[in-house]
Structure 1
Amino acid sequence: MPTSYDVRLLQKKEIAEGTMEFTLEKPKGFEYRAGQYGDLVLPPSTGLDDSNNKHGFSFVSAPFEDTLRMATRMRDSLYKRAAAKVPEGAMVQLLALWGDFTLQKNEAVSAVFITGGIGITPVRSIIAQATHDKTNHKITLIYANRTPALAAYTDELERFAAENKNFTFVPVYTSTQGHVNTDLIKRHVPDVAAPRYYLSGPEGMVKAMRSLLIEIGADEDNIKTEEFEGY
């Protein structure tokens, strides 16, 4: 069962075109693994009720950091419209903890993340924590967006790549470079059968990448997915 925490909304800010980040107080003693998520419950002042006041978001923040951050594409839904209006300083409820989209323990196996759009949120957490912990995981991130303006956290990811010799960041902008395909994957992943794969992003993209990886020789048992539904 999840635990309920009352936390303060510290900050809201736009971090990419149409993408909002929410920074929350971190409850005392709150522990999680990079890649996990919680439900953000909006206050009654928004006019929402138990049927529509709650949504699950991956933590963008890493466990070593002293606040909790979540981010979302701001679609035109009741929840998203209400979330945009909650003032900084308001109390919200956090229900946690969920999820197993977490980095494998075995540092001898390389990890390849193929991510689209807002699917970057758990991945930023995982890479930040691995960089902080100086783990020996060899990590490659292929991060696809239509344009640079839509891509969140690229500055931070570039910084992690500069700090962490084991981390390679591959941004892909589909409006000019085309979609992630066999050639691109093989260019950055020489031995396709070897790594553990982590796919996160819109459902269609995740399913397509999973099929493509299996087709080109990845081990189906070594593919972990996190699908971000439209809402």
Structure 2
Amino acid sequence: MSAYDTRIEGHEMIVEGTMAFHFEKPPGFSFKPGQAMDVVLVDPPATDPQSARHAFSIVSAPFEEHLSITTRMRDSAFKRALKSLAIGAPIRIEGPFGSLTLHNNRARPAVFIAGGIGITPFMSILRQAAQDGLPQRLVLIYSNRRPEDAAFLAELQVLEQRNRHFRLVATMTQMEQSTRPWAGEVGKIDETLLKRVISELPAPICYLAGPPAMVEDMHRVLNLAGVDDDDIRTEEFYGY
């Protein structure tokens, strides 16, 4: 795995409790949509030397000029240090790595199932697909508690308009706690929803990303919906 020295370009809050961080893309750094990288602090907190690095899915697509990650801002020494970095501060990245990348058989649709911040590896795939005009059917089933918590929701809605091969199925599980209007799906991703979506697709391959318990549960529900294990792809999730 290669290491690269780079600098932080900026960061911003994108939804409640979730931040995006942007880095200069080092010369020679290339990756496939869906892959990840380690972000390594040059000057890690002295009180917690184990917090020098963290693995994140790469949210930006290969065609973009910068590298981006997105993460829930949990109270950890690493994330406090990352947030405190000044624009232009040096940082190191190592990678890329990971195999949660889009399959090559364009005749077989892809169904991405994401819970919360598990959306990150799929953003790179969907951005690149829209840029390339990829002639492959792509469906994203995206679960969040509320629209306020749904990272990239507005961008995903725009991508759906741009790419006629892409369909977004977003669902909210706690709309009673939301102050925003929502006309889409509500409730957890269940067998009924999955069967309804998958029944419209010829031999789809399904990808899962999210909290470990959610991934395990969705794997079971996909099996109940008739999807064979050979057509389900998961990977340890990066980004918490």
**Structure 2 length as normaliser, TM-score?**
0.91
Matched residues in 1 for 2:87 and 2:35: separation?
A: 24
Q: Please list, as runs of the form range in 1=range in 2, the aligned pairs for 1:94-173 lying within 5 A after superposition.
A: 94-173=93-172
State the Cα distance separating 1:191 from its structure 2 match: 5.0
Equivalent residue, structure 2, for 1:44: 43
**Unmatched segments (≥5 aa) in structure 1:** none
Equivalent residue, structure 1, for 2:224: 215
Q: SS at 2:33's partner residue?
A: coil
Please tell me whether the aligned partners of residues 39 and 96 of structure 1 are also in contact (alpha carbons under 8 angstroms).
yes
Matched residues in 1 for 2:201 and 2:64: separation?
A: 33
Amino acid at match of 2:192: D
Task: Please identify, of 74-83 and 182-191, the stretch whose mean Cα deviation from structure 2 is larger.
Answer: 182-191
Q: SS at 1:228's partner residue?
A: coil
State the Cα distance separating 1:14 from its structure 2 match: 0.6
| Pair 1:202 & 2:201 matched | no
Matched residues in 2 for 1:189 and 1:129: separation?
A: 23
Amino acid at match of 1:200: A
Amino acid at match of 1:79: F
Please tell me whether the aligned partners of residues 117 and 239 of structure 2 are also in contact (alpha carbons under 8 angstroms).
no
Equivalent residue, structure 1, for 2:187: 178
Matched residues in 1 for 2:70 and 2:76: separation?
A: 15
**Structure 1 length as normaliser, TM-score?**
0.94
Q: CA RMSD in A?
A: 1.7
Q: SS at 1:157's partner residue?
A: helix
Q: Percent same amino acid among aligned pairs?
A: 43
**Unmatched segments (≥5 aa) in structure 2:** 176-185
Matched residues in 2 for 1:48 and 1:5: separation?
A: 25
Q: How many residues align?
A: 230
